[in-house]
Structure formats: C-alpha cells, structure tokens
Amino acid sequence: MALLTGAPRGTKDVIPAQVYKWQYLEDTLRRCARDFGFTEIRFPTFEHTELFLRGVGDTTDVVQKEMYTFQDKGGRSITLRPEGTASVVRSVLENSLYAAGLPLKVWYMAPNYRYEKPQAGRLREHHQFGVESLGSASATADAEVIGLADTFLSRLGIQTVALRINSIGCPKCRPGYHEALRAYFNTHEEKLCPTCHERLERNPLRVLDCKDEGCRGVAKDAPHTTDHLCTECAEHFEKLKSCLSAMGIVYTVDTRIVRGLDYYTKTVFEFVTDCIGAQGTVCGGGRYDGLVEALGGPSTPGLGFGSGLERLLMVMEASGVEIPKPDGCALFVAAIGERAQSEATLLVHKLRRAGVAAEQDTMGRSLKAQMKYADRIGARYCAVLGDDELDAGEVKIKDMTTGTAEPCALSVEAIASYIKQK
C-alpha cells in the first residue's frame, strides 16, 4: 500500500486498541491530583516565543536548539510549548489567579513539543502530567508535591522507580558553589572528556552527571552542592528530608542531580527507573522561587513537576502492570432475514438510547459469521432475531461466557432490564 505520508518523525498515534491504557492512566492521575487538592488548568498549545526565552532560560538546550518556533501570519514569533510550567505561570499572572488566595495548586495534562532526535522514551511530541504549587516557600509544600508524585506512581502499580532529591541552592549561594566546582574541575581539567570542557563553561553542575570514566573519577571527590548552601537553603533541605521521612517516602540524596531548565532553585528531584532504556526519568521537577518574578509577576515562590505519560506507560508495560479493559458491547443482536434485519436495527437503536451498549451486523454476514464477530468484539450477551422470534415475541439471550441462553420478551424494556440487572 502506497501511503501518501507517514506521521511526522517523533510522533505517535494512539490506536483504538490501545486507548484504554491512556484513559486509565489519565483517570488515575486526575483522581490523584484531586485528592491532593489540585485543580485543573488548561492553556494554549502555543505561546509567544518570548515566554520561553525568559521562563525556561535562553541558555538551555531546550530553548537553544529544540523549540518549534515559527512566525505566524501576523508576524509574531510563536513557539509550540516545550514544557508546561512557563505557560501555567503566564496564565496565573494574566488571570490574576493568585488574588483568590494562596497557595494556588493546579495540574495540567498536555502535549509538549521539542525538536529532538527520537529514541526510546523520547519523542518530538510527548504528553506530560504536571502540577504547580504557587505561593508557599515552605518545605512542606515541596513534600506535598513530591508526595503527590509518589502516590500516583504507587497507585499506577509502578514499583521500579526510585526518588532522588537534591538542593541546588538559590541565587545567593549558587555562585559560590559554581566557583568552588570550577576551581576543583580546573585542577583536574586534563582528565575530563571534551564535552565536559564545554560544560565547565556553561553549567559546571553537568560535569557531575557525566558517564565518562575519567569524569566520574574526578566527579567522585568534587565538592557537593549541599556543602555550599546558605543557611536558608540548608534549613529548607533539612526540613524537606524530615518531612519525607515522616511521610514514609523513601528517597536518596543525589548531589549529581541537575536539571536542564534555568528556573530551578533549592529543591530538585527525579523519579527514575532503569527498565525503559536510557531515558529513565519518569517524573522530574523542583522549586522555582524566582520564576514568577522573572515573568513580570509579584515575587512568589513555587514548585512543580512534569511527568511523561509515554514513559509512565512504558514503565507500566515493562513491569507487567495489568491495566483493566473497559466493558465493550453488552448485547449483540444477530439477525436472520430482511424482516429481522430491519427489526434488529430498530431494536439496537432503542437499546442504545436506553443506555445499553448494543451492536448489530452491518456487513451482511451469515448468522455464523455474525456470532463469530460478536465473539471477537467481546459481546457479553447475544440475541438471535429471526422470523420465529418475531412471531413468538420472544428472544433467547445467550451468555457468551457460559454459552447458556435464557428467554426474554421481545421488547426494548424487557431486554434492557434483563441486560442491566446482570
């Protein structure tokens, strides 16, 4: 078959046979957000490019080389959203949502676009569930957000993820740390890989995360962020750790965690797995106390996370989580002959209007083929309608799982109540 064109690189269709998995995942996430007191927010798929330059940070890879940016017919520079947080903050400011009282706790589920080279767990269009909590500077808010992530992961039956946390400090203490880090790495420069020489300039934190053997050796004894925090940041981090422990949430402090978005301050965290390939971060986020102000709003602390739906489904798949399939056809009405055919059409239509998921043949198949079809689509019950039944005013309703049949009066009401009572 010559196909005109395939789907764009890095995008994925969700075919009918698979949607139930997405629906299950989405329902679970929605319920979890509600239980934690978060409400949904929706925003456009594209924004002014400026928002991301300032919000995400114009030195980040996401902004520098991964954005889908174009000029619209009005000459505006528009960008397809590469991540959700900037849009949320923009919407909050634009609609003065903070005026209704703080904290403001919102969640979203939306596609993101990044021009990347696709691989396992990495797409050009991917979907994220994310939450943002604005207004509280307290570590309790951090614990609440992390607690929400921990909860939905466990509700989804995902056990193969580990929580890693770190604190990367604030604008007060971070420069000092960066200096200490640069000074340390400069004394070992000859052992670092070429990419890390670049990293040293842009973001020395990244060197800590390099997988190169030489870099690992050097990074092992590098100064830790946590040793260079100002008292405020250090106290915040301690408070978070004790909150998590009190909540029974297992974590490890990983001083190599660095996030690629500029707005993070203090707490950063990741839930990672090793069962879906190299892109193992299933949920990542942190605090961004300077972001709201950077986007022109009042100085407001906040934090949040993003979680990739495709990756969550991959982990669920890899760890054998069984996702319940929704009910399909409740009653298949097989018809023999033209008279029964049109009676069946009427019957099925009325049953559907009465709330019964009924089906009939539209392919002109033989009775046997109709039965086969009913079986294939997973019909719970099946009724054969022919001249005999029409004359007698009664049909046999066959239970497709047991193979036994019971008689029922040939009326919409009788059949509907028979199916519903089961």
Span 347-376, contacts to RNA by CB under 7 A: 363, 365-369, 371-376
Size of the site for RNA (CB under 7 A): 73
Sign of the alpha-carbon dihedral angle for 344, 347, 351, 353: positive
Mark residues 212-251: x for contact with RNA by CB under 7 A, - for none: x---------------------------------------
- Residues 276-295 binding RNA (CB under 7 A) are 277-284
Cα–Cα distance for residue pair 150/312, rounded to 1 Å: 13
Based on CB atoms, which residue is closest to RNA, 320 or 403?
403
Cα–Cα distance for residue pair 377/369, rounded to 1 Å: 12
Does residue 325 interact with RNA by CB under 7 A? no
Mark residues 7-36: x for contact with RNA by CB under 7 A, - for none: x-xx--------------------------
- Residues 65-84 binding RNA (CB under 7 A) are 66, 83
Q: Which of 93, 132, 137, 85 lies closest to 112, judged by CA? A: 85
Say which residues have a Cβ less than 8 Å from residue 205's Cβ, sequence separation at least 6.
Answer: 168, 178, 181, 225, 258
Say which residues have a Cβ less than 8 Å from residue 220's Cβ, sequence separation at least 6.
Answer: none
Does residue 188 interact with RNA by CB under 7 A? no
Cα–Cα distance for residue pair 65/116, rounded to 1 Å: 8
Beta strand ranges found along 151-264 (DSSP E): 162-167, 252-253
Does residue 134 interact with RNA by CB under 7 A? no
Q: Which of 261, 284, 296, 269 lies closest to 89, judged by CA? A: 296
- Strand 281-287 versus strand 302-308 pairing type: antiparallel
Does residue 401 interact with RNA by CB under 7 A? yes
Say which residues have a Cβ less than 8 Å from residue 4's Cβ, sequence separation at least 6.
Answer: none
Does residue 266 interact with RNA by CB under 7 A? no
Based on CB atoms, which residue is closest to RNA, 74 or 403?
403
Sign of the alpha-carbon dihedral angle for 402, 403, 407, 410: positive
Query: Which residue among 53, 163, 258, 415 contacts RNA (CB under 7 A)?
Result: 258
Does residue 256 interact with RNA by CB under 7 A? no
Based on CB atoms, which residue is closest to RNA, 10 or 223?
10
Based on CB atoms, which residue is closest to RNA, 26 or 61?
61
Query: Which residue among 209, 232, 238, 394 contacts RNA (CB under 7 A)?
Result: 209
Nearest distance from C-beta of residue 319 to RNA, angstroms = 16
Does residue 61 interact with RNA by CB under 7 A? yes
Query: Which residue among 24, 32, 43, 60 contacts RNA (CB under 7 A)?
Result: 60
